[in-house]
Structure formats: structure tokens, C-alpha cells
Amino acid sequence: MKQEIHNNKGKLRKQQKLMAEAINEPDSIIVNRKSKDSVFVNLFAQPEYLIQLYHVLHPEDHETEAADLTTVTLGSLMLQKQYNDLGFLAGNRLLILVEAQASWNVNIVVRAFLYLAETYLRYIRGNDELSLFIKSPIKLPKPELYVIYTGGGNHPDSISLSKDIFNDETTCVDVKVKVITESSNGDILNQYIEFCKIFNQQIRLYGSTRKAVMETIHICRSNDILSEYLITEEVADIMFTLIDEERELRVFMKEAKKEAMAEGLAEGLAEGLAEGRAKGLAEGRAEGRAEGRAEGRAEGRAEGRAEGIAEGQILGTIETMRDDGKDDESIIGRLMMKYSLNRNEAEKYIRAQS
């Protein structure tokens, strides 16, 4: 009996691995793979923390182990923007968690729905044994959708398409999402929520600065909140990158406002005398060129910084594992899991480090 259970687990793990490969296959059209992982995604991409998260969501399951879980987190969907979304398989379950930090937004239920649809689409396309044209029902993992909300204010315990988007009208499709705002003291989910609250407090005190990052790490480690996870330099790098991206976004918005004012001025001049039109046109061109150069430099620095940090971390992982005597196949597997690379990308880094 035990051997049969072991064999079934092995078969299920193999199926999950194939599904993960299909789902995690990069899509160069809609996915921006240069984006840095959020702390949320990075934390729970690590098996020792993912299994703790699963047991928080399913405390009744005493059989599932870390090896039984397979991460199927997608890249950012449709927009070149980092979303804090996490997906993983546990047996016949597909669990998807979406993080909402700053303020409550009921439209997050639509985001969860799109994430689920995209995951199923990639799963079906990547599984040769599945077809939508056979008579018998295809087998899909049962979905569970969650929102991890770390902000304040009023919020419901759950949200759904029918209730919150379609005003309680009966529709042909519905999605229900459980909203989680707190957990038992000390468990991994509670620690993450506390980490977010402390980070938000430090940003309010020190702004989006590196001091806010370092104070957050110090406070959390002093209070045994994600203390082992926060030891690594990688976490600080992620937080620094997120701070820098937020600062650059504010600069971009300020420039966009200036541009809009320039356009309004140009339109007003266009309705006036010919001299006014010519002058406004010249000013608009000059301002446009200056803003374009500034924006290009800012975007180039941001992308270069993110790429450099990511590549350095990958090459550092290769070097460390080789020092530990790991073979290339083990290193490739680690790179694919930790950095969401496909096999070709992982092999390219292996060759570059040879």
C-alpha cells in the first residue's frame, strides 16, 4: 500500500513538472521578464517557505511535503508591469495568490480571473494528453484563489465577479476569491503581513529611501519576523530595486504632467496668430526632445540596473553551486526554479560561466 502511494506521488510530481514547464514557458510578446521579483514572489518561490504557506491554507493536510509542490507562477500578464502574483500546484489543487498592498481595489478579482484563465490555457496547450475536442471531460487541477491584502481600511472576506463586478446579476461565469488580511501569530503568512506593515511604516517615516529598507530589515530581524529570509543580500537588493522603480515612476508622472501642460499651451497658441503658432511649435519640439532624452536615460538606467543585478545573482549562484561540487544539471534545475528561467536560458548562463 505504501509503495502504491509512493508510486502515485511520483507520477503526480512528474505531471506537475510537465505542467509547470508548459505554464512557465516565456511569452516574449506579453511578458516583461526584466522585471524584478517582488518580495512576495521571491519568498514563496523557495520550497521551505512555500510548504509553510500551503499548510497555513490547508492545516488539515498532514501528508503533503515540499517536494509535492510545484510553482507555476506566471510572468506579468498583458502589461509590462510587475504583479505580485503566485501560483503553485499541490496534488490536484491549483492555488493562486494575488497580493494587494497599498489600498483596497475590488477589481483585483478580475486580475485573479485572468491569471487563472492564462494558467489553464498554458496547461492545456502544453499537455499532449488534453484536448478540448474529445467527448470525456478533461482533468484540470481544482482552483483556489486568494488575495493577500496588507493594507488598511474596510475590506470584505471574499469577492466575486458576479457580486462585485456584475452587481449581483447572474452571469455565465463566476470567480470567487478569499481575502486574507491576517493569520495565526508566528506562521509564515502572518510574518509576511507583519513585514509589509513595518515596511509601509518605515516608508511613511523616511520616504522611499534605502534607510526605510534597512530599518525594515533591522526591525523585522529583531522581532523574529522572516529573520532567516531577511539575512540574504538578495532580499535587500529586491527592496532597493522596488524603491528605485517607485521613485522613477514619480519622476515619469511629473514629466507627463509637464508634457500635458506643454500640449495645452501649443493648442492655445495654435488658435492665435501665426507668430504664436510658430513659437509654440518650436518650444514644444525643444521640450519634447529634452523630455524624451531624460525619459530615455531614466528607463535605460532602470533596465540596466535590474538586468545587472539579476545576471549577477544568477552567475553567483552558479559559482557557489560549483564550489559545492554540484554538477551542471543540478545547477540548471536550481536556476530554473529560483529565477523562473527556461532550460535554454539556464544553459546559456552555464556556458557563460564556464
Query: pLDDT digit of tens for each residue in the chain (354 aa)?
Result: 555 555 556 655 655 655 555 555 444 333 233 334 588 888 999 999 999 999 999 999 999 999 999 998 775 444 344 456 889 999 999 999 988 766 788 999 999 999 999 999 988 888 888 888 888 899 999 999 999 998 877 788 999 999 999 998 888 999 999 999 888 778 999 999 999 899 989 989 998 888 989 999 999 999 999 999 998 888 888 888 776 655 544 454 555 455 656 565 556 556 666 777 777 777 777 777 777 677 767 776 766 677 777 788 888 888 888 888 888 888 888 888 877 888 888 888 888 877
Q: Give pLDDT, residue 183.
A: 80
Q: In the β-sheet with 142-149, what is the strand arrangement from edge to edge? A: 69-71, 85-90, 93-100, 142-149, 176-180, 158-160
pLDDT at 100: 76
- Helices 47-57 and 188-206: crossing angle in degrees, nearest 10, is 110
pLDDT of residue 112: 92
Q: Who contacts 187 (Cβ-Cβ below 8 Å, separation ≥6)?
A: 52, 56
Looking at residue 36, its pLDDT comes to 44
Strand partners, 177: 159
Q: How far apart are CA 232 and CA 242, in angstroms?
A: 16
Where do the H-state alpha helices sit in 223-342?
A: 233-270, 274-323, 328-339
* Distance between CA atoms of residues 58 and 187, nearest Å: 13
- How far is Cα 185 from Cα 182, in angstroms, rounded to an integer? 9
Those residues with Cβ within 8 angstroms of residue 301's Cβ, 6 or more apart along the chain or in another chain: none
Q: What is the pLDDT of residue 93?
A: 94
From CA 265, how far away is CA 202, in angstroms rounded? 40
The pLDDT, as a whole number, for residue 187 is 93
* Distance (Å) of CA 325 to CA 98, 276, 317, 320, 322: 38, 73, 12, 9, 5
Q: Which residue has the cell 500640449?
A: 263
Q: Is the pTM of this model over 0.85?
A: no
